[in-house]
Structure 1
């Protein structure tokens, strides 16, 4: 398959982030939600630079000359990515300055400059600086005895040039970090129903002369650096994985500089000094026409008294099927049960573990944990189970990026409670979501299983869309036991009944299912594929989908983020349509549907269609057997494909356009709103 048939992965990701930015610009969204989308756009870019751009830069520095599937060399990728990232940053700040900030002011929420404050308010800011800010500051002057400081990743700083009395042509450089331990936005007392906020860096900048007393300040500029945070970890040579990860976390703070964000009005002398010291070129410089690091916009979301500027809160539904039984095990033993978060409450999952922890008939609990919340009640329930004498085994994936420190803490807590903790497998991330409870009942051992497309995280379950399945099916139970034995014994899983596990069987299973549809259509049978995933990158999967399309298989894909497949190309992918939904909740569930000549098969999975998921992670693909649940999942896919409010359609050139109603009389559909409405009606 030629290079022209693949969209560059990094550019596809940037287009996803642009869709997030579109939500910030969309006046149909409540104002504070728009601010949150803008903050997410900025935060996403941080991670993109720290991981993806850093990786490509390493290839450039190493002289790596292999092209990516889209046909780009690393040097070409860097240039195109930089151009598009600069465009998105410009659009983000245009949205902030000309839409969001003005709209806030209309709502009497004013982000002011210190100079705009009245004398009484300026005095308040001065007192705040004197008593709260000044004691925390550490101004640093660079001269022959004090070298250029090592700047912390993502820290906001103020750079200065100071007059040099000894060498007027060589100004002195100084810098001061804006303390991250203090609030970024400071509320200033105001009257007449106004809310006035000032950024912390503005308060500091106003008093730089008192900080650098005795020096003449020539010019100043706010700036921020982004460092390479792509951890390099030699697992094979690591005697202690925990210690190796701790060492890598320390290295992350001081990786090479990938990006410099700096005030757009910066003096050229100051910019040249910084780029020289940080060893970056102009491509890595982003001149910012506004406050640097719009992550602070998250702070406005919690401002009290503005509920009308947020989405109407939803009350997640606790399924009646659980309420009808004294114990959760009774409900699961009778039938398979699905939860569709965040529309369904995450509480049944917590209840499942808590009841198991307290139930004298429960012998063992086994679970995988990838990302958990900061104060996870689920981890506490597992710890309580161990303290109650249950056999508790937990695989805590220490290599979950940016959650490493959090997971180390939870692993220690579980070990202290008496749990058997596994720190992941060498060379593989354990990304599957599975929970097994073994219970002694009157008729012998019974196994209860929960499988999910998303993490066991009570916090993200409120805004990530994921699907979980409870089952007492003995085949699922046997597979779960075999899987946990593999995880604890480091052996390949035995023959499984219902689960397909990466990196052992999952890729082959998916390819077989796609190729079966291709064979069916060639034989005149009915064939169709629908898949909902976060990312579609894997080359073999894409090429197999192209083959299916060429044979005549109708393929509809809902890909929230990265999609390297080009739909709608004549004679290659003209039977493939690709949609992306970006809305109130982060679409996270993975659903795979195959028509199979009318004998429909449907699967849920923790895995996206990426090489890393299929070849370098422990992932699970599991079938939905219950006819009612299968139909429910098919309806879920259908509703997503008919979204006319938050869906975009991918064109062959990699660009997305909003899906609109077919005619003015058609009903406008927001799939996420409709899911909640349907689930609430069923109660």
Structure 2
């Protein structure tokens, strides 16, 4: 008998009363007591350390190198990304902790850990993970690459023909550039640049001047390739054969020291502090000051020594002493010390079957493919794009159209990271040369892109554009473009606001939302933010945008609190936040209180998360997941159920103190009902992902989510590719 049939049958009154009484008693017995609410929101046990959470993200990236669902060269790419991420982690985060200790300026966060304790834990974890990384490379990936015709040859594998070719290459391409440095009183230990491949050489014998130092350093110039592909005619097998520069130098180290015996040659690499610091009160010309800082970036304080694991201990001890590093700072590795230079192999056109399948980003239906009609389409309806699944071309095309349109009077744009060969910059230059009033806010302090951004700024200035560098002390991280056009007797504004940079390469690799709109309130707000950046005066009141450092933090926290109030009133309450990092204390406390009120909180946090989910009485209604897949998750989305009148915002900012208090950021509403429904649907794809998602556990570690029995596999990025891309 079906449930419907049972529900429709009448029962005697006495039986019904007895059943209800039994149900009540069962409910009284089975319903657990709700945990007492925890109100000590500053308890360190409720928070995860920022640096350790950052490290967990890097480990999740490394995990992808083991995932056999990824093509082989993509697995290698993930391993190399881990290397690159760890380099930056030491250059910025570890160096920052060391400086706090050195200058007795230790900062203790909400988690209560002192910098010395954090460093100790970092050392414990990173030594294990770096050893694991090289085990994955040597024991899994390199053998698999050989099976697929990609060989990285060791010296003991060289054939006579290969030795001859390598010898010629060494004398023609390497030896003329290298400058070995013998160590003696006239040649003290050199100051080595950050992340440069070096060799320490142990020598025996006397040189032409009768010197007998026993030791030398060989720095490998950056201009030399870190690996070389051998020509097919010297290879006895089909496939691509590569030789590391380190192997070439090892093979011919004796030729660099004629008449002496090389007892050993060992590669090493030094990592230095690469964070730039400008004293804001003393800066008169930001560009000039930054240019000076860039010159010294390669020679910051020493942070880490990577040395090949067969280097004798007394030699690596000698290096530690020279760099004033400790045993904890020594990383003995079994392989090349500069793995990130292998990235070109991952992009090999000869092995596309070992890479992700190519795709063509989708183009929204109804949006004109001719750039000169884009503004007409935007007048009719806002355009929402999700990159890389949808094309970045409309964003580029509307700027190109504006550059040539005689009715366009002015263009304003922010640039944070754009790339060396940017079509966006080309269009801005073209607009300036066509007589448009072009104003560009270039953030020259975008980490590791400073030098490139200085060059872009000079190029724009030479074309006649007005270039400003934002506000000293506040990085301009907002992503916005404003086009001012005369249409009849009216001035109409068009705007682009987004969650990602104006970088076409990143638009194929990062997930980001773009909104193209001519909404009068939003475009007016964007105009006011530009006024604040280029001029001076009190903060201007905006209607629809939230903007940091003024209203963004308060605006988001108010929306979280409103959802909590609905939950307390017994209404359905749901918050979904998809973001890169969560560290801001006030935002975390607001989310804890929303959870306590009964609101369901789903956080999709790619990287750092200091919030600790699953604590009874505090965060049991909060779930935190991280998605690691083909594309770098970069969208920042805030969703609130809002009693059924759903609210959606997208932002350039993460929930981090630096974004909300020390940067210029924008957060914009998604208002068209169909766009709201669409964003909610796309967020749902991430929440249901059971193949690329990791769930944050109470101990601060992540557990990969896998389909349970009979459950369909769900991959959010693949779903979006299938629904949005061509």
TM-score, scaled relative to structure 1: 0.97
Which of 247, 251, 268 pairs up with 2:313?
268
CA distance in 2: counterparts of 1:102 and 1:324, whole angstroms = 47
Q: Give yes or no for contact 2:246–2:336 (8 Å, CA) kept in 1.
A: no
User: In structure 2, what is the equivalent of residue 17 of structure 1?
Assistant: 58
Q: CA 1:379/1:57 → structure 2, altered by over 3 Å: closer, same or farther?
A: same
User: In structure 1, what is the equivalent of residue 258 of structure 2?
Assistant: 213
Describe the superposition over 1:253-306 as per-residue Cα deviations: whole angstroms up to 9, x where unpaired.
Answer: 110110000011111221121111111111111000122121133121132321
Which of 408, 413, 435 pairs up with 1:362?
408
User: In structure 1, what is the equivalent of residue 329 of structure 2?
Assistant: 284
More displaced, 482-491 or 582-591? 482-491
Q: Give yes or no for contact 2:470–2:534 (8 Å, CA) kept in 1.
A: no
3-state SS of paired residue (2:305) = strand
Within 5 A, what are the aligned runs for 1:91-490? 91-163=132-204, 172-189=214-231, 190-323=235-368, 327-490=373-536
3-state SS of paired residue (1:275) = helix
* Aligned-residue RMSD, C-alpha: 1.6
Q: CA offset at residue 636 of structure 1? A: 0.9
User: In structure 1, what is the equivalent of residue 618 of structure 2?
Assistant: 572
User: In structure 1, what is the equivalent of residue 17 of structure 2?
Assistant: none
3-state SS of paired residue (1:529) = strand
3-state SS of paired residue (2:491) = strand
User: In structure 2, what is the equivalent of residue 671 of structure 1?
Assistant: 716
Q: Give yes or no for contact 1:236–1:427 (8 Å, CA) kept in 2.
A: no
Q: CA 1:65/1:375 → structure 2, altered by over 3 Å: closer, same or farther?
A: closer
Q: Give yes or no for contact 2:206–2:260 (8 Å, CA) kept in 1.
A: no
3-state SS of paired residue (1:461) = helix
Q: CA offset at residue 65 of structure 1? A: 4.4
Q: CA offset at residue 165 of structure 1? A: 5.9
- Runs of 4+ with deviation above 6 angstroms: none
3-state SS of paired residue (2:299) = coil
Give structure 1 stretches of 5+ with no counterpart.
none
3-state SS of paired residue (1:135) = coil
User: In structure 1, what is the equivalent of residue 93 of structure 2?
Assistant: 52
Q: Give yes or no for contact 1:425–1:490 (8 Å, CA) kept in 2.
A: no
Q: CA offset at residue 171 of structure 1? A: 5.3
More displaced, 432-441 or 516-525? 516-525
Q: Give yes or no for contact 2:183–2:213 (8 Å, CA) kept in 1.
A: no
Q: CA offset at residue 218 of structure 1? A: 2.8
Describe the superposition over 1:416-471 as per-residue Cα deviations: whole angstroms up to 9, x where unpaired.
Answer: 11111111211100000000000000251111010000001111111000000001
CA distance in 2: counterparts of 1:480 and 1:399, whole angstroms = 22
3-state SS of paired residue (2:192) = coil
CA distance in 2: counterparts of 1:497 and 1:74, whole angstroms = 42
User: Is residue 558 of structure 2 the alignment partner of residue 512 of structure 1?
Assistant: yes
Which of 519, 539, 542 pairs up with 1:493?
539
TM-score, scaled relative to structure 2: 0.92
| Corresponding residue pairs, total | 679
3-state SS of paired residue (1:649) = strand
User: Is residue 633 of structure 2 the alignment partner of residue 592 of structure 1?
Assistant: no
Q: CA offset at residue 178 of structure 1? A: 2.1
CA distance in 1: counterparts of 2:359 and 2:230, whole angstroms = 32
User: Is residue 111 of structure 2 the alignment partner of residue 43 of structure 1?
Assistant: no
CA distance in 1: counterparts of 2:349 and 2:594, whole angstroms = 54
Which has more radius of gyration? 2
